[in-house]
A = this chain, B = another copy of it.
Amino acid sequence: MSATERWGIHEVVLSGPREGNPFLEVTLAAVFRHGHREVRVEGFYDGEGTYRIRFLPDEEGAWEYVTESGAPALAGKTGSFLCTPALRGNHGPVGVARTFHFVHADGTPHVPIGTTCYAWNHQGDALEERTLATLRASPFNKMRMCVFPKHYLYNENEPPLHAFEKGADGSWDFTRFVPAFFRRLERRVGDLRDMGIQADLILFHPYDRWGYADMGAEADDRYLRYLVARLSAYRNVWWSFANEYDLMKGKSTADWDRLFRLVASRDPYSHPRSIHNCRGFYDHAKPWVTHASVQHEDLVRVTEWRAAYGKPVVVDECCYEGNIHRAWGNITAREMTRRIWEGTVRGGYVGHGETFVDPGDVLWWSKGGTLHGQSPERIAFLKSVLEAMPGPHEYTDRFTARYPALQCGDGDAFLIYLGDRQPVRMELALPSGRPYRAEILDTWQMTVRAVEGPVRAVTPGAGTKAPPDSVPGAAVMDLPGKPYMAIRLTAV
């Protein structure tokens, strides 16, 4: 019996009809069984008479399957495999946990540290390999990337492959997929998976000169069914229905609703689903949305969006570190780092991106390549700070909403972020009677300095009436009077 690790891909390969248009005319699925449990998954035509069914087993032990097809050559095939324990580094797919957060299927928390290279997978092998090498040395564990190629500023090159064949008249035949295009995509999604990086796949986007943005409802649906059949067995897949959906004038809200429902009903593994805005948000409260995917500059509002949707808030785009002429792509490393800290300490997840002018138009935000900015190492520092804090982490406004903080447990630790403010001291309304060990973190210099002696709340004295805006009983801590500081407090 063949073996597949838990949350690996078990693939069944079959030979079948190649005449006519198999993409349209041949149905294929398999039912996988583990004890009395059944999981039905759809297969797909991979060209040259080859059909595949991919399955992501989530329980160890023996699985068996039987195929279903309208084509006799593909129907009633059976087989079995042994699902073995997951190998090191394989924590399974990601889902939502504790309302606002993510967790892998094996219980390991997933803290998205995202970046964006929209079209890195359409650049040819040399550049794509360079991007992968950069990612390997980076803090990032989530990548936003487009299934379709991109036409935009600094993005005028042709992709190596297209997703559809062309008909006799030179126009796209949206009923005939190009399997090599999708194999290329899968290879890159697999590369990311093997590095522990989630592939936040953007299914549609408006920046297009070829016609992918306006294929019509029937072709859209067929494309998504095909993509789900091919890719949902990759444990690191997330479905991002669009980038800047509100700029795609050819699709209505009803269209997006339909596409969400289509994927939700066909993806056997319920990968995370969301949709990214330019200006106005899609209603992330809708039941098929698993988390909010947000473009916005004001990270203070993470608090408001968490309350509005009761779901994780991922701010995929808050402007990019860089120096291009467009305002969405020229914030400083200091500001990028500040935004990421602000949103993180508010219990959201904020993505990085980078747009430095390049003589060959290779900007990280779109084509990948090499990172030039100063924020990634600061993001790595933040990641290390979070990892060193006892969990679970949750946002608290106990130090006033202006100084957002993560609280661990019921006060075992706090991480307070002061942003670009430069106070020389802080009043901290700590839980009474509990001494804390304090450290001052310089989030820009990436240093941690221990404060001598414990910090604790005091009992307010019975003196004259305190002036307005004072915090009676607060612990008082001296600070260096510089921007970009954080305070970490750990109960002694």
Residues of B within 8 A of A256 (CB): none
Q: Is the CB of B468 within 8 A of A207?
A: yes
Interface residue A39 (Cβ < 8 Å from any Cβ of B): no
Contacts of A427 in B (CB 8 A): 325
Task: Contact check, A468 vs B152: say whether CB atoms are below 8 A apart.
Answer: yes
B467 touches A155 (CB 8 A): yes
Interface residues of A in 132-172 (CB under 8 A from B): 151-153, 155-156
Q: Which of the residues B156, B209, B470 comes within 8 Å of A153, measured between beta carbons? A: B470
Q: Are the CB atoms of B468 and A330 closer together than 8 Å? A: no
Which residues of A (187-213) have their CB < 8 Å from a CB of B? 206-207, 209
**A322 / chain B contacts, CB cutoff of 8 Å:** 422
Which residues 422-480 of A have a CB within 8 angstroms of B?
422-427, 465, 467-470
The answer to whether B335 touches A423, judged by C-beta atoms less than 8 angstroms apart, is no
A125 interface residue, CB < 8 Å from B? no
The yes or no answer to A326 lying at the interface (CB within 8 A) is yes
Query: Is the Cβ of A467 less than 8 Å from the Cβ of B426?
Result: no
Does B423 lie within 8 Å of A325, measured CB to CB? yes
Closest residue of chain B to A424, judged by CB? B323
User: Within 8 Å of chain B (Cβ to Cβ): is A70?
Assistant: no
* A61 CB-CB contact with B under 8 Å: no
Cα of A144 to Cα of B470 in the assembled complex, Å: 23
A332 touches B423 (CB 8 A): no
Q: Quick one: given A323-B481, A481-B323, are A331 and B469 in contact (CB under 8 Å)?
A: no
CB of A72, distance to nearest CB on chain B (Å): 49
A179 within 8 A of B: no
Distance A39 CA – B420 CA, assembled complex (angstroms): 53
Tell me how far the C-beta of A279 lies from the nearest C-beta in chain B, rounded to whole angstroms.
Answer: 12
Q: How far is the CA of A281 from the CA of B467 in the complex (A)?
A: 24
Closest to A206 in B: B468
User: Does A82 interact with chain B (Cβ within 8 Å)?
Assistant: no
List, in ascending order, chain B residues with CB within 8 A of A403's CB: 327
CB of A420 within 8 A of CB of B332, answer yes
Q: State whether B467 touches A326 (Cβ < 8 A).
A: no
Q: Which of A297-332 contact B (CB under 8 A)?
A: 322-327, 330-332
Central interface residue in A325, A335, A425, by most chain B CB within 10 Å = A325
Query: When the two chains form their complex, are residues B467 and A327 in contact, meaning their CB atoms are under 8 A apart?
Result: no
Complexed CA–CA distance, A58 and B234 (Å): 82
Given A332-B420, A335-B420, A420-B335, CB of A327 within 8 Å of CB of B468: no
Nearest-neighbour CB distance to chain B for A150, whole angstroms, equals 10
A483 near B: Cβ within 8 Å? yes
Cα A209 to Cα B464 in complex, Å, equals: 11
Known: A209-B465, A332-B483. A325 touches B153 (CB 8 A): no
Interface presence of A2 (CB below 8 A): no
- Does A18 count as interface, using CB distance less than 8 angstroms? no
A323-B481, A325-B425, A427-B325 known; A153 and B420 CB under 8 Å? Answer: no
Determine the chain B residues whose CB is within 8 A of the CB of A400 once the complex forms: 327
- Is A251 in contact with chain B by the CB < 8 A criterion? no
Which of the listed residues A335, A400, A423 has the most CB atoms from chain B within 10 Å of its own CB?
A: A423
Q: Is A402 located at the chain interface by the 8 A CB criterion?
A: yes
Bound CA–CA A330/B421 (angstroms): 5
Question: Digit string of A207-242 for contact with B (CB within 8 Å is 1, else 0)?
Answer: 101000000000000000000000000000000000
**Contact call B469/A421, Cβ cutoff below 8 A:** no
List of B residues within 8 angstroms of A325 by Cβ: 423-427
Report the Cα distance A357→B332, complex, angstroms: 29
Residues in B whose Cβ lies below 8 Å from that of A156: 467
- What is the CA–CA distance of A484 and B56 in the complex, to the nearest angstrom? 52
What 5 pairs across the A-B complex have the smallest Cβ distances? Answer: A327-B402, A330-B421, A323-B481, A330-B423, A323-B424
5 more CB-based (< 8 A) A-B contacts, given A153-B467, A153-B469: A152-B469, A153-B468, A153-B470, A327-B402, A330-B422
